Amino acid sequence: MNIVLVGMQWGDEGKGKVIDILSRKVDYIVRYQGGNNAGHTVVVGKQQYIFHLIPSGILHPGKICCIGNGVVIDPGVLLGELNDLRNNGIDFSRRFKVSTLAHLIMPYHKNLDQLRERRRKNKIGTTGRGIGPCYADKINRCGIRMIDLLNPGLFKDKLKDNLKEKNEIFKKVYQHPGFSFQKIYAEYLGYGKLFAPYICNTAALLNKAVRDKKDILLEGAQGTFLDIDFGTYPFVTSSSTISGGSCIGTGISPDKINKIIGVCKAYTTRVGEGPFPTEFAAEFGKIMRDKGNEFGATTGRPRRCGWFDAVIAKESVMLNGISELAIMKMDVLDGLDKVKICTSYKYKGKIFREFPGDLTVLSKAAPVYKQMPGWPNQRNKPRSFKQLHPNARAYLLELQKLLGVKITMVSVGSARKDTIFI
Ligand code: GDP
Ligand code: IMO
Ligand code: MG
């Protein structure tokens, strides 16, 4: 069984927790897009791990964890993450793999990301990790890939070529001194030596696994509305975050995918700029942010919070082909008098039941809500669907009805045990 897991909103839905739980049942866990703009949290007992590049299944001994060709890799961050694992006594030596074809985030990508962001009138609120500029170079056909680090001559030519153009841009456009070839060359060749044991043709590896009837879990990063095509452009990331991206980012063909799990919060959050119709007003937003501990796992920025938006979630079901839903952070809604679900938008007297193609509508529309009774704080964590408060059950059943997809998992806390399987 080959499963894709995607975020259905604007990221941070709790994908890391679900990946960790599902990892027990599969043989391979694979990241296929994005880079260290992602922050996937896994809580085991008192310990919290935040993974930016390494698949969230790595804590399970014996599971093979791959970074696919579609991911952009900051080698310094990858090295740091591998060292952290080693320091925590987690052995990955024979089960961590990274694609020869994955593109590398170079120091100039990070600076360019930050310099461009500073100059933009309409800021995106990027993570500043160099994601956009790295993907731009990939598409521009001047990117540097993992395999290049194993070929010093080729790497030298590519880096020289890049710096020739980029240093001029840095100096002339941004009044920045530019970058030294020698420093980057030496540093990155060093990474090449360290990563050599893990670099391989992951597409071949994964397709062999498919032939051998192994189970693969494809770990999405970000969320559907950060997708470069279908998201709230230009307030998006630079990769294909929808389920379709998993084939491009791994080399596994679409006919091998058996199931697509959509992860969404029982409410909505967003980090960075861009339209967010159901966003709470400031005061309530702060209360919910503190309750849900909604601060970015990568940048620490406060996340914007709002009610569940069934319009975007329905669009997400369509774009991803979601076959099962995991609803996360239900516990954060405990103790509210009422809860609301946005079922349509109203703009200039017109009702939009579907996701509007025109983003000015999304930016200016007023959400139309279905209001439901809330439920009290739970003294004990519910362990089954039946143990949930009747109003919480009614809320979940309403989400299920609106989205037309079965909820198979409800999360009521960050720990592994705080999970209800249906
Ligand atoms: P991801 O990027 O989708 O993996 O999500 P993040 O890790 O960035 O953010 C999710 C946060 O919510 C993390 O801090 C998780 O530990 C936490 N979390 C996950 N599920 C639950 C839940 O059901 N309840 C609560 N209260 N926290 C949760
Ligand atoms: P996970 O995988 C939430 C957002 C940034 C910004 C926009 C573009 O943890 O869910 P980028 O640095 O990618 O060019 O920034 O995308 N963003 C995320 N928001 N969760 C993420 O990842 C995100 N990765 C990027 O805040 O608005
Ligand atoms: Mg996150």
Domain map (residue ranges) of the chain: 103-195, 265-421
Chain-centre distance for alpha carbon 337: 32
Beta bridge partners of 327: 264, 410
State how far the alpha carbon of 308 is from the alpha carbons of 10, 19, 313, 354, 377, in Å: 12, 22, 8, 15, 19
Q: Is 19 in the pocket of ligand 2 (CB under 6 A)?
A: no
Contact 263, 13 (CB under 8 A): yes
Q: Is 12 close to ligand 1, i.e. is its CB under 6 Å away?
A: yes
Among 20, 27, 40, 212, which one carries the catalytic annotation?
40
The conformational region for residue 107 under phi > 0 = left, psi -120 to 50 = alpha, else beta, is alpha
If you take atom 28 of ligand 1, which residue's CA is the nearest one?
A: 414
Closest ligand to the CA of 34:
2
**91 classed as catalytic:** no
Under 8 Å between Cβ of 42 and 59? yes
Does the beta carbon of 226 lie inside 6 Å of ligand 2?
A: yes
Count the helix, strand and coil residues of the chain and give each as a percent rounded to the nearest 5: 35, 20, 40
Question: With a 6 A CB cut-off, is 39 part of the ligand 1 pocket?
Answer: yes
- Determine the atom of ligand 2 nearest the C-alpha atom of 37: 24
Instruction: Name the CATH superfamily for 265-421.
Output: Adenylosuccinate Synthetase, subunit A, domain 3 (3.90.170.10)
State whether the beta carbon of 414 lies less than 6 angstroms from ligand 1. yes
Mutational pocket test of ligand 1: of 5, 18, 41, the residue with most ligand atoms within 8 Å of the beta carbon: 41
Q: Which residue type occupies 314?
A: K
Collapsing DSSP to helix, strand or coil, 289 comes out as helix
- From first to last of its 422 residues, the chain has per-residue pLDDT tens of 999 999 999 999 999 999 999 999 999 999 999 999 999 999 999 999 999 999 999 999 999 999 999 999 999 999 999 999 999 999 999 999 999 999 999 999 999 999 999 999 999 999 999 999 999 999 999 999 999 999 999 999 999 999 999 999 999 999 999 999 999 999 999 999 999 999 999 999 999 999 999 999 999 999 999 999 999 999 999 999 999 999 999 999 999 999 999 999 999 999 999 999 999 999 999 999 999 999 999 999 999 999 999 999 999 999 999 999 999 999 999 999 999 999 999 999 999 999 998 889 999 999 999 999 999 999 999 999 999 999 999 999 999 999 999 999 999 999 999 999 99
What residues form DSSP beta bridges with 219? 5, 31
pTM over 0.85: yes
> How many other C-beta atoms can be found within 10 angstroms of the C-beta atom of residue 9?
26
- Coil/strand/helix, residue 83: helix
Alpha-carbon distance 267 to 339, whole Å? Answer: 9
Q: Quick check: CB of 306 below 6 Å from ligand 2?
A: no
Q: How many Cα neighbours within 13 Å face the side chain of 211? A: 6
> Are 215 and 230 in contact, with CB atoms under 8 Å apart?
no
- Please give the Cα distance from 154 to 373 (Å, whole number): 64
Q: If you take atom 2 of ligand 1, which residue's CA is the nearest one? A: 12
User: In this predicted structure, what is the pLDDT of residue 357?
Assistant: 84
Report the distance separating Cα 171 and Cα 113, nearest Å. 15
Distance, in Å, from the CA atom of 212 to the CA atom of 96, rounded to the nearest integer, reads 19
Choosing from 305, 377, 414 the residue with most ligand 1 atoms within 8 A of its CB, the one to mutate for a pocket test is: 414
* Ligand 3 center to 183 CA (angstroms): 32
> Which one of 46, 329, 331 would you pick to mutate in the ligand 1 pocket, going by the greatest count of ligand atoms within 8 A of its CB?
329
In order of 190, 228, 236, 313, 318, the CA distances from 321 in angstroms are 42, 18, 20, 12, 5
- Active-site position among 12, 20, 137, 331: 12
Q: Kindly give the distance from the C-alpha atom of residue 9 to the centroid of ligand 2, in angstroms, as a whole number.
A: 11
CATH number of 103-195: 1.10.300.10
Task: Give the position, in ligand 2's atom list, of the atom nearest the Cα of 131.
Answer: 14
